[in-house]
Structure 1
């Protein structure tokens, strides 16, 4: 698995003067909505400040309805709102920035739409016109300019995450020359510095132009931010983001940093992940207003409102800091620069089995875990980073989640908790691939990860695709890790020796009912590895389980309509039955005959599937090439049966 993709749709936040909620909006007749959209157009194009502001408020309100949203985009409202980012009136700029920022959180596709409607041009003009010399006035009660800057920077971040063109616009502008002045925490405060760092974290990644500009102007400031003494949520968020920017400025290779800086950053990540996010959410839920029997929430008293708002803000900072920390760890553990020789146990390109020392034909091959810099590996292990990341895969109790989701002010926390869980699982996957098994609790520790993740996949009935995909990837990686150890010392992994048919029925049912091909392929490979582990401890029960898994994979292969999932299923069976010890089982399930039926199906589907992502194309090509050779080999082996 490669690096964690950070391009995610972010949940919408309520923005001052930008988002207006109306319980009546859903009930508006179609003609009234059309009239309302025309009214917005008239107001946005008017010269009166109050009319423009009113039009922006109504525009923000209708963003919550997908049908109205699509109609507004089709009628060009985005092109009318974007120029208001440089309106002379601060309240209009603020409302425009808030609504466009909220719109950019809808989806990556929406960010593409915003680019097509030329939002970036107005955004660049905003920075050039209003931010080169601006400094907030602490005595001024009107915070429009302050909030506008944060919203515009968040908008810029979302666009750059989704669009290479947005990154190019940014590089051609003066924005990266303007940003460094906003890293002054004493002048601009936590919110602005955080927004700048979040944007830089994305912009400088794999971007030599941005790296050179920020390195020459801001390296000292970034290192100073690492030295903040406070370890509260806001300071840890800033220190974590600053560490991430420094790593990205090094090309993503943390080992090129001075050893003291690397250790300092790893220490910050450990502190950030030591904050108990579940406890913070539990405490917050005790103060959140509850629904009455009619489903209505009574807002808190004015005296308690600010306290609750500050508590929500603190929890959001904890979750943002921990997500950033986990993304950084996942990336430094990804080993993307490794070559094909360290793909590990999944690779089936070679017909020669690996020997117990991990070498092929006597030639030494580095394992992925051997490619991590020793200093980094030592830091990850000594600070128990794996355990800290694993703790982020655990959600607060269901009643706490329900309370947070019911109250409008804490809905964003509910969404961020699930996003944090997904990112943590992705990071666990990377760490399983790249940390020595001895530092993961040994075979028993990895087995426990497999069991606990399996509960999430098969027993908690999650309908969150991202969580399920990352969790099934963890299950697959965990068994891969155990299999690799099993190749060295088969007697150590007898954890599955007593596995019965009843134990796998729930897994097979889950795969059979799974509607997502990305998840199906993880689960098919995972049960194939499980069967392979049983080959080393063959008994009557294990043989029955292996045959059951084989027949299930063959059955699924015949039903599969995605060529790359079919290829995964076939590749899994080839791996499973490549050992000569499986000849008797292969004859029992009539493997050669059934694979011979699948071979032309795979070949035909591959021929008709030209536009596949690279990783899928490699998988399909490999399976298509290996299958005929395997059938010929196994047929000769079974001729005596």
Structure 2
């Protein structure tokens, strides 16, 4: 698995754009009339009318039905030009509303792009930010800063969702403008954080952006990385700075000066040293609880301000930890060594059935010559080990207690914390996938350490119900990665398969049920491969019990293969079977389950589905092509072997 960059929701919550209970103040009229009145107000020449219309727009965004109707009436092209309105209050209301609209979904961002949101947004930066500095004596200072923050986060959401948005930014003056806003003392933490979040995304794998930012911001970035404070805003700024510096060097972290490298890793460790469960527990103690009627009455005055600051602090802590985990995942990315990391899964060899480690894989004393961790530089491994990064990332896969989550979910102001916790957990599992395939075993607690990860991830996948498919996909990817790592070691030390000696057939059947009930092809694929790797481990310790388990797994995968609609998942299932039976000592089991006859039936099935489903991502297309080529040769090879029994 290579680098990860998942879309994040950067949503504002203020008096203009937040969801509240003011809907009863809307005129008691038909929805059509309400929307038309709103449009008339927005298009009015009167500032107060425009502002009122934008407030209505902000509230109606929360209703999917109303939003669909507004989009059909061209609301984006009506609101977007107000980013350039002469009245600051109107610009602020338009920016906040559009930013929240961009957080709804990927489709919402695509819709914004289709309605040419980038033209007025780019002009906003050119017109209002090129030389702007906040006037400390101005009554509208906070409003102007907030508008800048809203527009920056709107642009961030668009860039995370659309490559076209990134191209727009590259052709504009924005990357020449925003680096001047990296001075916390002049522009404040909110604006600096917004700008850095934007730069963090835009400079990744973007040579043009890298060139512009590196030429104008090197000194500022070094200064930000050295901020002495360790409060939540400072940790977020320093973590983002580390990520930007790494992205500027093209991900080649070993090319950085050793002092900068050490600074970045120290920042990452400090960021992940904050106990996210504890800060959420403490926050839940300050959140108002629901009364007997299920209503939650929010605090007021100074108490409300204190709670808002606590929520903001926890939010920044979770954001900084998510960014730190994404950085670590990219550092440990196996993108450059996919052939090695997938060694346990590969069936590309021309000589099917010869998967024993060769002399090139193992040295004369039985040690692996190329180890998974050899792809990382010694300095990186030393830093990851000394700062206990493995343990810190794994801790992020754990959520706070259920009662804490319930309290935070009930209060409107902390629902965003729940979303951030779930995003953090998912990113942590994705990061663990890369870590397991990259770090030395001793850093992870040896073979027993990664086996424990497999067990804990399995509890989440098979013993808990979850509607979060991204989380389940990440967790199954970790399970697959841990088994891959165990298999690589097992090729040298076959006794490691004893780790699974207590695994009962009922446990396997639980996995079967999970696969049958799984509607997400990515998760299905991971689970099918995972049970195949388990079978492969048992092949090294064949007896009546393990043979029965292998037979059960084989029959299940064959059954699933015939039911599978997605050609690349079908290819994954067939490739798994090829790996399982590539060893000559599996011939007897192959004959028992009639493997050859059943695979012969799948040859034309796979070929036909491949013809029908040609539009596939590159990785999936390679998998399908490879298996299409290997399957007939494997059938011919195994048929010859079984015939000799």
Global fold match (TM > 0.5)? yes
Alignment partner for residue 500 of structure 2, among 496, 510, 513?
Answer: 496
Match of 1:205?
204
Pair 1:65 & 2:63 matched:
yes
Q: How many residues align?
A: 639
1:178 shift after superposition: 1.4
1:9 shift after superposition: 4.6
Secondary structure of 2:70's aligned partner: helix
- More deviation in 113-122 or 220-229? 113-122
Contact kept, 8 Å, 1:44 with 1:52, in 2: the verdict is: yes
Flag the 1:139–1:282 CA change in 2: closer, same or farther, 3 A.
farther
For residues 199 and 16 of structure 1, the distance between their equivalents in structure 2, rounded to whole angstroms, comes to 24
Secondary structure of 1:330's aligned partner: helix
For residues 301 and 58 of structure 1, the distance between their equivalents in structure 2, rounded to whole angstroms, comes to 24
User: Counterparts of 1:186-197 in structure 2 under 5 Å?
Assistant: 186-197=185-196
- Note the alpha carbon deviations across 1:162-206, whole angstroms, 9 max, x for none: 222212221222211211221001111111111111000011111
Match of 2:638?
634
Flag the 1:111–1:358 CA change in 2: closer, same or farther, 3 A.
farther
Match of 1:559?
563
User: Counterparts of 1:190-589 in structure 2 under 5 Å?
Assistant: 190-338=189-337, 340=339, 343-352=342-351, 353-356=354-357, 359=360, 366-589=370-593
Pair 1:85 & 2:83 matched:
yes
Contact kept, 8 Å, 2:12 with 2:96, in 1: the verdict is: no
Contact kept, 8 Å, 1:486 with 1:533, in 2: the verdict is: yes
Secondary structure of 1:158's aligned partner: helix
Match of 1:114?
112
- Note the alpha carbon deviations across 1:81-112, whole angstroms, 9 max, x for none: 11111111111111000001001111222112
Match of 2:103?
105
For residues 280 and 580 of structure 1, the distance between their equivalents in structure 2, rounded to whole angstroms, comes to 55
- More deviation in 493-502 or 511-520? 493-502
For residues 359 and 457 of structure 2, the distance between their equivalents in structure 1, rounded to whole angstroms, comes to 28
User: Counterparts of 1:579-618 in structure 2 under 5 Å?
Assistant: 579-618=583-622
Contact kept, 8 Å, 1:20 with 1:58, in 2: the verdict is: no
Contact kept, 8 Å, 1:94 with 1:145, in 2: the verdict is: yes
Secondary structure of 2:335's aligned partner: coil
Contact kept, 8 Å, 1:124 with 1:175, in 2: the verdict is: yes
For residues 294 and 588 of structure 1, the distance between their equivalents in structure 2, rounded to whole angstroms, comes to 64
Two-structure CA RMSD over aligned residues (Å): 2.0
Secondary structure of 1:346's aligned partner: coil
For residues 339 and 408 of structure 1, the distance between their equivalents in structure 2, rounded to whole angstroms, comes to 44
- Note the alpha carbon deviations across 1:132-156, whole angstroms, 9 max, x for none: 2222234555421111111110011
For residues 530 and 346 of structure 1, the distance between their equivalents in structure 2, rounded to whole angstroms, comes to 12
Contact kept, 8 Å, 1:18 with 1:94, in 2: the verdict is: no
1:218 shift after superposition: 0.6
Match of 1:5?
5
Secondary structure of 2:291's aligned partner: coil
Flag the 1:633–1:433 CA change in 2: closer, same or farther, 3 A.
same
1:416 shift after superposition: 0.4
For residues 487 and 137 of structure 1, the distance between their equivalents in structure 2, rounded to whole angstroms, comes to 68
Pair 1:165 & 2:169 matched:
no
- More deviation in 378-387 or 15-24? 15-24
Match of 1:144?
143
For residues 25 and 615 of structure 2, the distance between their equivalents in structure 1, rounded to whole angstroms, comes to 40
- More deviation in 364-373 or 569-578? 364-373
Contact kept, 8 Å, 2:361 with 2:370, in 1: the verdict is: no
Contact kept, 8 Å, 2:384 with 2:390, in 1: the verdict is: yes
1:492 shift after superposition: 3.1
- Note the alpha carbon deviations across 1:265-291, whole angstroms, 9 max, x for none: 011101100100000000100110111
Contact kept, 8 Å, 2:19 with 2:62, in 1: the verdict is: no
1:359 shift after superposition: 3.1
Secondary structure of 2:491's aligned partner: helix
1:523 shift after superposition: 0.2
Contact kept, 8 Å, 2:322 with 2:427, in 1: the verdict is: yes
Match of 1:54?
52
Contact kept, 8 Å, 1:20 with 1:57, in 2: the verdict is: no
Contact kept, 8 Å, 2:372 with 2:440, in 1: the verdict is: no
1:4 shift after superposition: 0.3
Secondary structure of 1:136's aligned partner: coil
1:438 shift after superposition: 2.7
Contact kept, 8 Å, 1:476 with 1:522, in 2: the verdict is: yes
Contact kept, 8 Å, 1:11 with 1:106, in 2: the verdict is: no
Match of 2:72?
74
- Note the alpha carbon deviations across 1:204-243, whole angstroms, 9 max, x for none: 1111221111111110100111111111111111000001
For residues 548 and 515 of structure 1, the distance between their equivalents in structure 2, rounded to whole angstroms, comes to 22
Flag the 1:499–1:20 CA change in 2: closer, same or farther, 3 A.
closer
Secondary structure of 2:286's aligned partner: coil
* TM-score normalised by the chain length of structure 2: 0.96
Flag the 1:606–1:26 CA change in 2: closer, same or farther, 3 A.
farther
1:37 shift after superposition: 1.4
For residues 528 and 345 of structure 1, the distance between their equivalents in structure 2, rounded to whole angstroms, comes to 11
For residues 270 and 242 of structure 1, the distance between their equivalents in structure 2, rounded to whole angstroms, comes to 14
Secondary structure of 1:629's aligned partner: helix
Flag the 1:443–1:368 CA change in 2: closer, same or farther, 3 A.
closer
1:337 shift after superposition: 3.0
Match of 2:627?
623
For residues 506 and 18 of structure 2, the distance between their equivalents in structure 1, rounded to whole angstroms, comes to 52
Secondary structure of 2:336's aligned partner: coil
Unpaired segments ≥5 residues, structure 1: none
Secondary structure of 1:530's aligned partner: helix
Contact kept, 8 Å, 2:345 with 2:576, in 1: the verdict is: no
- Note the alpha carbon deviations across 1:354-395, whole angstroms, 9 max, x for none: 554683699998454211111111111111111100100100
For residues 593 and 380 of structure 1, the distance between their equivalents in structure 2, rounded to whole angstroms, comes to 50
Contact kept, 8 Å, 1:211 with 1:249, in 2: the verdict is: yes
For residues 357 and 60 of structure 1, the distance between their equivalents in structure 2, rounded to whole angstroms, comes to 64
For residues 362 and 595 of structure 1, the distance between their equivalents in structure 2, rounded to whole angstroms, comes to 36
Pair 1:38 & 2:39 matched:
no
